[in-house]
Amino acid sequence: MTSYPTPDFSPTTPLDSHTKGAERSERLRKALEYAERGWSVFPCLPGGKKPLTKQGHHDATTDRSRITAWWNLWPGANIGIPTGERSGILALDVDQPIGFDALEAEHGELPATRTHSTGSGGMHYLFAYPADVEIRNSAGKLAEGLDVRGEGGYIIAPPSRTTQPYEVLDALPLATPPGWLTKVLAEPQRSMGKVRSVTTAASIGAYGPPIFEGARDDTLTRIAGRLHDGTRSLDDLAAELLGINAQRCEPPLPDQQVVKVARSIHGLEPCRPGRPKEVDELVGVLSDFWHGQTWKKLAKKSEARFARALIREGRKFGKRVPAGLRVEKSFRQMAEILGVHRNTISNLVGRAKEAGWLRQDNADRQGEKPGAFVLLDPRHFCDTDNQARAVGEGVTKVSRLCEKPINVADLMTPHHRHRGFVGYSKEHTLCVFEARGPLDRETAAELLGWTRPRDLERLHLKPLSELGLLEKQGDIYAVPGDYRERQESVLGEAYSTVQPRVRREISVEGRNLYVVRDSGIVASESERLRLAKEQHARERDCYRNRAANPADSHYVNVGADGYIEDLERVGGLSETDSRTLEAIEAFEDKYGRGSFRWDRASCKAMFYSGPISGLWPDMEELVRIRACVEAAGGLRAAA
């Protein structure tokens, strides 16, 4: 997931300023130097190893303008270099000298080559990547504490810094790896002359084949990845791994090391069953269509939220149908996801149908099974090739970094409620910045459909910066590195929706009264979501248990055949209606027959100047009394 950390541009002393400035200049200089060698580079989190670009090491480049733009945006970023055939680098990461010494004792010393010290106190031995051989990443395959970075991996390069600074120890040319090393690394089923078991999908239990020394870390990590499917807590995952370690590893790893593996895997996204390729392809097309719309005005922002939620749910649970992507969700479920009322979903569905990108499919709906929404394939009704063109004039180099935006289904921006701190419109602004990367206000205004960029900055960008959801550096705005944590903080902050409203209540005497009372609550968005889920659960239970609580039958009208004239009146007026009728009769006795005209003006006159003052019936009450009066043939007869 893309994240954009906040650069540190606030030194406390002139000496700090000089030191930090020199460090930033040195990192940009070294990044450009690596690029001149033909090694693609990309920025990583300052003080860490997490990539800052949306595609990680796949975004690595040797283009000087892009590298300069990256390190101008993130001056303190560490330097990452991909390994494998792309850069021609095979890296041996030595964390424990004992394993390395044992390796050299068995096979002889490694040839002299370029070496770096690492932030953890270890060393990187860099070799030329061998031709016509594929070497993948591995951990502990050669020996304990020895990791290999080949295809699909990357290393952090000097002068980066994590716990300690990375430094160049020997700036020698890259040596060719010895033949025995290439042979061992290219044969995943053998390790140092000892046959290992190959862990497959069927061997993730405690009673699978043995796991020999040299493959324990790597195999347990892969097993943990398969077990981490979102159904296990950290304790459960650790307990299963400890059991597998005790039963299969020869000899077993220390418990602390197994728990460390479980903790690292549990912090990642759970694995899911593979989705059909046609679903992923269609989700990509729908994402391009979503990004190609400007979604102007607040009503369109609501549609954008609805479409984004359907695309995301469609990638999780959707099915490909000839018309598009079928998402089996109910109105109530979508209302819960978006934090709105079910009536709002009905309105959104109507507008989406009118716009032509949505249909409903209720063919298989029965009982409690919901209907489905169908997101129509945009290729059938519009041109989705809208991402290749330039965004517009005034586009900076930095704002062009993410010309291909992030898939809508991958956006982590949550759905905010209408009267919360963010709201619908600002939520859409955050989605654009998360998907596109750093943008200046002119580019953002064009993408969002704003005529005047300064209005966008005043109404959206500055308030979002005050909330901490956007960061500004110069003229560029971007989401911060800890974007998810900041969003959770905003969602957990309470706000008030209390406001005075006119409500109709029943008095002690049973009379309808119109009173002004405060309506709303003080709660956070997270708390409101919890309350909404509880309410929806109660409503679902009532619906499911409706057979156990049938409505009371009224046996007076058992013989009615469906015509209203066959229905019999049950009883007379209620006590409250009878008192109102007495007040109306007293009013006409005072002001003459027909003076009460059965409207609001007459109710007002009776309230202020009638013989029985203080009574102001509502219109529903008047309708009931008038029907009774007409049926009885007059006021006196009804009384």
What is the pLDDT at residue 452? 92
Residue 433's pLDDT is 92
Which of 200-214, 247-261, 394-408 is least confident? 394-408
Question: Bigger pLDDT: 72 or 566?
Answer: 72
The share of the chain scoring above pLDDT 90, in percent, equals 13
Instruction: Name the amino acid, one letter, at 290.
Output: W
Q: What is the per-residue pLDDT for 308?
A: 93
Alpha carbon distance 282, 353 (integer Å)? 19
* Across 228-248, average pLDDT: 80
**pLDDT top residue among 388 and 515:** 515
Q: Report the pLDDT averaged over residues 285-302.
A: 83
Q: What is the pLDDT of residue 318?
A: 87
pLDDT at position 504: 72
Whether the pLDDT of residue 130 is over 80: the answer is yes
SS3 82: strand
Residue 61, phi then psi, degrees to nearest 5: -150, 165
Give the mean pLDDT of 527-544. Answer: 80
pLDDT exceeds 70 at position 28: yes
Q: DSSP 3-state assignment of 136?
A: strand
Give the least confident one: 53-62, 180-189, 366-375.
180-189
CA separation for the pair 539, 90 (Å, rounded)? 60
Query: Range with the lowest mean pLDDT among 76-80, 98-102, 307-311?
Result: 98-102
Domains 277-380 and 398-491 share a fold: yes
Q: Which residue has the tokens 């010290």?
A: 117
Check if the beta carbon of residue 260 is closer than 8 Å to that of residue 234: no
pLDDT computed for residue 248 by the predictor: 79
Query: Within 13 Å, how many C-alpha atoms sit on residue 170's CB side?
Result: 14
84 by DSSP, 3-state: which? strand
Q: How far apart are CA 453 and CA 162, in angstroms?
A: 39
How is 300-364 classified by DSSP, letter by letter? Answer: HHHHHHHHHHHHHHHHHH-EEETTEEEE---HHHHHHHHTS-HHHHHHHHHHHHHHTSEEEE-TT
Residue 325: band (very low, low, confident or very high) from pLDDT cuts 50, 70, 90 = very high
Taking the C-alpha atoms of residue 568 and residue 561, their distance in angstroms, rounded to an integer, is 12
Domain residue extents for the chain: 1-82, 83-187, 196-266, 277-380, 398-491, 496-548, 575-638
Q: Which residues contact 552 (CB under 8 A, 6 or more apart)?
A: none
- Distance CA(241)–CA(224), nearest Å, equals 7
**Mean pLDDT calculated for residue range 341-369:** 84
Residue 561 has pLDDT above 50, yes or no: no
Q: Which CATH number fits domain 277-380: 3.40.50.200, 1.10.10.10, 2.60.40.1180, 3.50.50.60?
A: 1.10.10.10
Let me know: does 215 contact 148? Beta carbons within 8 Å.
Answer: no
Q: Say whether 157 sits in a helix, a strand or coil.
A: strand
Please give the pLDDT value at position 374: 92
Helix, strand, coil % in the chain, rounded to nearest 5: 45, 15, 40
Give the least confident one: 8-12, 136-140, 500-504: 8-12
210/202: higher pLDDT = 210
Place 193 in a pLDDT band, splitting at 50, 70 and 90.
very low
pLDDT at 309: 92
pLDDT digits (tens, 9 = 90+) for 430-457: 999 998 888 899 999 988 888 999 999 9
pLDDT of residue 347 exceeding 70, the answer is yes
In this prediction, residue 209 has a pLDDT band, given cuts at 50, 70 and 90, of: low
Query: Does residue 130 have a cis bond before it (omega within 30 degrees)?
Result: no
Average the pLDDT over each of 20-24, 106-110, 393-397, 460-464 and give the range with the smallest value.
393-397
pLDDT on residue 566: 45
Pairing relation of β-strands 476-478 and 439-440?
antiparallel
What is the residue-wise DSSP string for 427-491?
HHHHHHHHHH-SEEHHHHHHHHT-S-HHHHIIIIIHHHHHHTS-EEETTEEE--TTHHHHHHHHH
pLDDT score at 392:
36
pLDDT in the model for residue 565: 45
Is 528's pLDDT higher than 80?
yes
**Quick one: pLDDT band at residue 286, thresholds 50, 70, 90?**
very high
Per-residue pLDDT tens for 607-634? 777 777 667 777 778 888 888 877 776 6
The three-state DSSP-derived secondary structure of 288-301 is HHHHHCCCCHHHHH
What is the token pair recorded at 446?
Answer: 């064009």
pLDDT beyond 50 at 491: yes
| pLDDT at site 15 | 39
For 263-275, give the DSSP string: HHHHTSPPP-PPP
Q: What is the mean pLDDT of residues 72-76?
A: 86
Residue 125 has pLDDT above 80, yes or no: yes
Tell me which fold the domain 398-491 belongs to: Arc Repressor Mutant, subunit A (1.10.10)
- Can you tell me the distance from the alpha carbon of 87 to that of 40, in angstroms, rounded to the nearest whole number? 7
1-82: CATH topology: 3.30.720
Q: What is the pLDDT of residue 461?
A: 93
Q: How confident is the model at residue 1 (pLDDT cuts 50, 70, 90)?
A: very low
pLDDT, the chain, mean: 78
Q: Which residue has the higher pLDDT, 39 or 621?
A: 39
d(CA 556, CA 568): 7
CA 140 to chain centre: 35
Q: Please name which of 23, 6, 11 lies closest in space to residue 165, comparing C-alpha atoms.
A: 23
Distance CA 332, CA 210 (A): 50
Prediction pTM value: 0.48
pLDDT of residue 376: 92
Specify whether the CB–CB gap between 475 and 489 falls below 8 A: no
Highest mean pLDDT range out of 294-303, 349-358, 627-636? 349-358
- H, E, C per residue of 476-543: EEECCCCHHHHHHHHHCCCEECCEEEEEEEECCCCCEEEEEEEECCEECHHHHHHHHHHHHHHHHHHH
Residue-level pLDDT at 386: 36
Cβ(523)–Cβ(491) under 8 Å?
no
| Tokens of residue 238, six digits | 């650790």
Give the span between the Cα atoms of 331 and 326, in whole angstroms.
14
